[in-house]
Amino acid sequence: MSEPATLVTMELMGKEYRVPSGLTILAAMEYAGYKLVRGVGCRGGFCGACPTLYRREGSHRIFTALACQTLVEDGMCLVQIPFVPAPTKPYDLHSITPQSTTLLRFFPEIAGCVACNTCTRSCPQGLPVMDYIQAALRGDIERVAMLSFDCIACGICSSRCPADIKHYAVGLLARRLYGKYLVPPSADLALRVGEIEAGRYDAELRELMELPLADLRARYEQRTFEPAADQNGEYSATRRYNSPMDPVDYQDELEGV
C-alpha cells in the first residue's frame, strides 16, 4: 500500500500550510481546505484556468506554473491568477485577406515588443512565445501558427509582458488565418459533401436502418478493415506537423536516441 507522505511547508495566498509532498498545487490547496471555484478547470493541463505565480526560497525570481500540473515544493510561496483580461476588437475572419501586415493591423501593440523574452520564460507549455511575436511582426503567419499551436491561453505571458501584448490572441488569429487561407481545402472532403448533399447515401442508409438486427450484425461482422495509414510519407503530419515548412525542429531533441 501507499507509503505515508512527508509534509512540506508552503505559503498559500500569504498563509502558511503543511501539506503532503507529492501533491499538485491544486490538490494541495484542496487538502488545505479550499473549495475552488476560480483558478480550476480541466485539471489535466488543457484549459489554462489555473495559472499560478510563485517564488522559491532563496531565489529572487518569479516562477510560473499551472496549478494542476505542478508539484508543491517546500518553501514555495504562491498565488493564483484567476484570469488575465484580454478583450480584443471583434473581427470577421471571413472577410480578411491575410497579408504580411494583417497581424500588426489587428494587434498594433506587438510593435512594442522589447524582446525581453519574459513571455517565453513564463510559458507553462514551454512555447517560444517571443519568437512567434517576432514572427508576427515580420508578417510570417505560418510560423506564428506553428509555434503557438500548443497554446492553452492561460494568459501568463500577457500578465508578465512589459509591452502589454496579448500574445495568445495574436496566435489564435494567426492559426485561424493559416487554417482557413494558407492550407488548401481538402478535395476529397468537398467531393463527399457534394455527394451527401445530392442524396447519394440516403437509400443505403435507409436500408441499413430498416434491416433486422440479425442482418445488421452480420453486415457488421463482415466488415473489412483498412490497414493503418502509412505515416512515413514526405509530408506525414506525424513527422512534420501540418506543413512541409514546419519550423519546429525536433532534431535537437532526437540526438542520442
How far is CA 161 from each of CA 51, 107, 156, rounded to the nearest angstrom? 15, 14, 9
Contact set for another protein, span 149-168 (CB under 8 A): 149-150, 152-153
**Cα 135–Cα 103–Cα 189 angle in degrees, nearest 5:** 95
DSSP code of residue 24:
B
Contact set for another protein, span 185-244 (CB under 8 A): 185-193, 196, 201, 204-205, 208-209, 213, 216-217, 219-221, 223-226, 228-229, 231-233, 235-244
What's the min distance (Å) between Cβ of 137 and another protein? Answer: 21
CA dihedral 28, 31, 33, 37 (to 10 degrees): 60
Q: Per the structure block, which three cell numbers stand in for 237?
A: 503530419
Quick one: 60 or 189, whose CB is closer to another protein?
Answer: 189
Q: Please write down the long-range contacts of 109-116, taking CB distance under 8 Å and 24 or more positions apart.
A: 109/163, 109/164, 109/165, 109/166, 110/136, 110/137, 110/163, 110/165, 110/170, 111/137, 112/163, 112/164, 112/165, 113/137, 113/163, 113/165, 114/162, 114/163, 116/162
**Cα 84–Cα 86–Cα 88 angle in degrees, nearest 5:** 170
Quick one: 14 or 60, whose CB is closer to another protein?
Answer: 14
Cα–chain center distance at 158: 15
CB 24 within 8 A of CB 70: yes
Quick one: 60 or 89, whose CB is closer to another protein?
Answer: 89
Quick one: 112 or 235, whose CB is closer to another protein?
Answer: 235
What's the min distance (Å) between Cβ of 177 and another protein? Answer: 7
Quick one: 79 or 211, whose CB is closer to another protein?
Answer: 211
Does the footprint of another protein cover residue 115 (CB under 8 A)?
A: no
In the list 9, 55, 56, 83, the residue contacting another protein (rule: CB under 8 A) is 83
What's the min distance (Å) between Cβ of 64 and another protein? Answer: 14
Quick one: 110 or 174, whose CB is closer to another protein?
Answer: 174
d(C-alpha 82, C-alpha 214), whole Å: 55
Q: What character string, x for contact with another protein (CB under 8 A) and - otherwise, covers 14-43?
A: --------xxx--x--xxxxxxxxx-xxxx
Does the footprint of another protein cover residue 143 (CB under 8 A)?
A: no
Does the footprint of another protein cover residue 56 (CB under 8 A)?
A: no
Choose the stretch contacting another protein; rule: CB under 8 A; options: 45-53, 112-120, 131-139, 155-163.
Answer: 45-53
